[in-house]
C-alpha cells in the first residue's frame, strides 16, 4: 500500500475501510476512509491518524515516502477515535514528534483517551512554520466535537477540514476529479445530515472563518479530496447551513395490517394534489440514516404508527429518537396511525414530533381497524385544506 500524492510534497497516507456498514447507527453502505495526510518539509508533519486496527495500513503508506521515525510534528485536528486512534502507536515510533491540538478541548479529550502524550495546545490564528510551508490553525468547535479544528497549509493553500466536507465513501480514487462524483455528493449530503446537521450554526461560523482563505484543495478526514469542485461543495454546505428547503414531503411509517400504510398513501395523495413531491418510507425496509438524509431539506414530515401494546411501534420510536437528535431544519408535521383499541400511538407521535423543532399542520389523525375509502378520502381532503391555509 502506497501513499497517494495530493500535491507536491503532500500525500494521503490514510486507510480504506471497505467493510464498515455502521457508524453509530448511521448505515455506511459505501464503507469509509480514515484520512491522514503527510507533509514533507524541513519538519515532516503528519495530519491526523486513522482508526485503531488500521495502523499497519497507515504505517505502510507513510513508509512508502518517508521513515516514520523522522516525523517531527503530528497535528490532531479532532480527538474522535476514528482520527486519533493510532496517535499513541505513531507517537511511539516517531519518538521526537511534537503533538499539536486545539487548546483546551483537544488536550482535554486526547488526554482522556490516551493519557498525557505531551500535547501542545494551539488557538485561533496560531501558525506553525514547517519549512517552505506553514500551517495555520482555525478552531471549528462542534463541527463535530468541541475539539474540532481545521488546519490551513500555505502556500499550497490546502485546507485540512477534518469532519467538514467529509463523506463515508470508500474509494481507491482520492480526488473529486477521479471518483464517481454523483456518489460523492450523495455521500457528502448523507454525512452532513447524519453527523454535522445539529451543528449548523457552528458550521456556518466555520465557513465564515474560512471564507477569506484562498483554498485550492480541501482534504477532509473521510472520503475523497475536493480539488475541482470546491465551489459546488461549499455552496451545498452553505445551503444546508441556511436550512434551505425543497418541495419534498417525507412520509415515514410502520404498519401491522396495512391500515396505517393506507393512511400514508392518503396523505401522499394530499401532498401530490398540492404540488409537493412526497417520499414514502416504510420503516420495515428503510434505514433511519437514509431517511434523515432526505428529510434534511423537506418542508413537511408525516410520521405514522399503529398502536402496539399501548404504544407506538419500536421502529417508529427509534426513528423519532434519531430524528430528534439530528433535525436542524424546522418543518410542519403530521402524526397519524390506526388502532384497534387504546389508540395511544398517534398522540405519542404528535408529542414526539412537537419536541423536534417541528410545528403541527393539523391534530393527530387516528382511525380504527381497517379505514374505509371514505375515511381515507377525508384524510386527503383534510390535509389538502390544512396545506392550503
Beta-bridged to residue 282, according to DSSP, are: 253
Compare residues 145 and 350 and give the one whose CB is closer to ligand FEO.
145
CA distance 38 to 17: 19
- Shortest distance (Å) from residue 158 CB to ligand FEO: 19
258 catalytic? Reply is no
254 catalytic? Reply is no
Compare residues 51 and 366 and give the one whose CB is closer to ligand FEO.
51
- Shortest distance (Å) from residue 34 CB to ligand FEO: 8
Identified catalytic residue from 83, 168, 222, 229: 222
Q: What is the DSSP string of 318-338?
A: HHHHHHHHH--S-EEEEEEEE
Which residues contribute to the site for ligand FEO (CB under 6 A)?
Answer: 78, 80, 82-83, 144-145, 163, 221-222
Identified catalytic residue from 57, 82, 147, 176: 82
CA distance 366 to 378: 12
Report the run of H or E that residue 61 belongs to, with start and end: helix 55-63
- Shortest distance (Å) from residue 285 CB to ligand FEO: 28
212 catalytic? Reply is no
42 catalytic? Reply is no
222 catalytic? Reply is yes
Indicate the burial class of 254 (C-beta count within 10 angstroms; 0-12, 13-18, 19 or more): buried
Identified catalytic residue from 144, 168, 268, 382: 144
257: phi then psi, degrees, rounded to nearest 5: -130, 30
Quick check: 362 and 336 in contact, CB under 8 A? no
Compare residues 144 and 366 and give the one whose CB is closer to ligand FEO.
144
- Shortest distance (Å) from residue 169 CB to ligand FEO: 13
Compare residues 85 and 337 and give the one whose CB is closer to ligand FEO.
85
Identified catalytic residue from 17, 80, 176, 268: 80
Quick check: 43 and 131 in contact, CB under 8 A? yes
24 catalytic? Reply is yes
Tell me how far the alpha carbon of residue 362 is from its chain's centroid: 31
83 catalytic? Reply is no
Compare residues 79 and 358 and give the one whose CB is closer to ligand FEO.
79
Quick check: 361 and 386 in contact, CB under 8 A? yes
287 catalytic? Reply is no
CA distance 141 to 158: 20
The residues annotated with a catalytic role in the active site are: 24, 78, 80, 82, 144, 163, 191, 222
Amino acid at each position: 500500500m502506497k501513499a497517494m500524492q495530493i500535491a507536491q510534497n503532500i500525500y494521503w497516507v490514510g486507510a480504506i475501510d471497505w467493510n464498515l456498514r455502521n457508524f453509530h447507527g448511521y448505515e455506511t453502505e459505501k464503507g469509509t476512509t480514515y484520512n491522514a495526510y503527510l507533509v514533507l518539509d524541513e519538519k515532516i508533519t503528519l495530519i491526523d491518524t486513522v482508526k485503531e486496527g488500521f495502523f499497519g495500513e497507515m504505517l505502510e503508506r507513510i513508509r512508502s515516502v518517508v521513515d516514520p521515525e523522522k516525523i517531527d510534528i503530528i497535528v490532531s485536528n479532532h480527538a474522535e477515535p476514528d482520527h486519533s486512534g493510532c496517535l499513541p502507536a505513531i507517537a511511539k515510533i516517531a519518538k521526537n514528534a511534537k503533538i499539536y491540538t486545539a487548546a483546551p478541548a483537544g488536550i482535554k479529550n486526547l488526554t482522556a483517551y490516551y493519557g498525557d502524550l505531551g500535547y501542545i495546545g494551539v488557538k485561533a490564528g496560531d501558525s506553525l512554520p514547517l519549512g517552505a510551508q506553514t500551517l495555520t490553525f482555525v478552531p471549528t468547535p462542534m463541527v463535530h466535537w468541541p475539539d474540532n479544528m481545521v488546519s490551513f497549509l500555505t502556500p499550497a493553500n490546502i485546507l485540512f477540514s477534518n469532519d467538514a466536507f467529509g463523506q463515508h465513501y470508500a474509494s481507491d480514487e482520492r480526488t473529486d476529479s477521479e471518483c464517481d462524483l454523483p456518489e460523492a455528493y450523495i455521500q457528502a449530503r448523507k454525512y452532513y445530515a447524519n453527523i454535522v446537521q445539529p451543528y449548523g450554526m457552528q458550521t456556518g461560523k466555520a465557513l465564515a472563518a474560512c471564507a477569506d482563505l484562498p483554498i485550492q484543495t480541501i482534504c477532509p478526514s473521510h472520503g475523497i479530496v475536493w480539488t475541482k469542485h470546491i465551489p459546488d461543495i461549499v455552496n451545498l454546505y452553505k445551503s444546508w447551513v441556511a436550512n434551505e428547503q425543497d418541495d419534498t414531503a417525507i412520509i415515514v411509517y410502520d404498519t401491522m395490517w396495512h391500515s396505517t400504510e393506507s393512511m400514508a398513501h392518503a396523505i401522499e395523495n394530499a401532498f401530490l394534489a398540492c404540488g409537493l413531491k412526497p417520499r414514502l418510507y416504510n420503516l420495515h425496509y428503510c434505514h433511519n440514516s437514509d431517511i434523515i438524509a432526505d428529510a434534511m431539506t423537506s418542508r413537511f414530515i408525516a410520521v405514522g404508527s399503529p398502536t402496539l401494546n399501548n404504544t407506538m411501534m419500536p421502529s417508529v420510536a427509534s426513528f423519532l429518537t434519531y430524528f430528534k437528535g439530528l433535525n436542524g431544519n424546522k418543518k410542519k408535521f403530521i402524526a397519524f396511525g390506526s388502532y384497534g383499541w387504546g389508540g395511544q400511538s398517534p398522540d405519542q407521535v404528535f408529542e414526539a414530533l412537537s419536541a423536534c423543532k417541528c410545528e403541527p399542520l393539523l391534530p393527530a389523525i387516528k382511525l380504527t381497524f381497517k379505514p374505509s375509502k371514505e375515511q381515507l378520502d377525508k384524510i386527503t381532503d383534510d390535509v389538502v385544506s390544512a396545506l392550503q391555509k
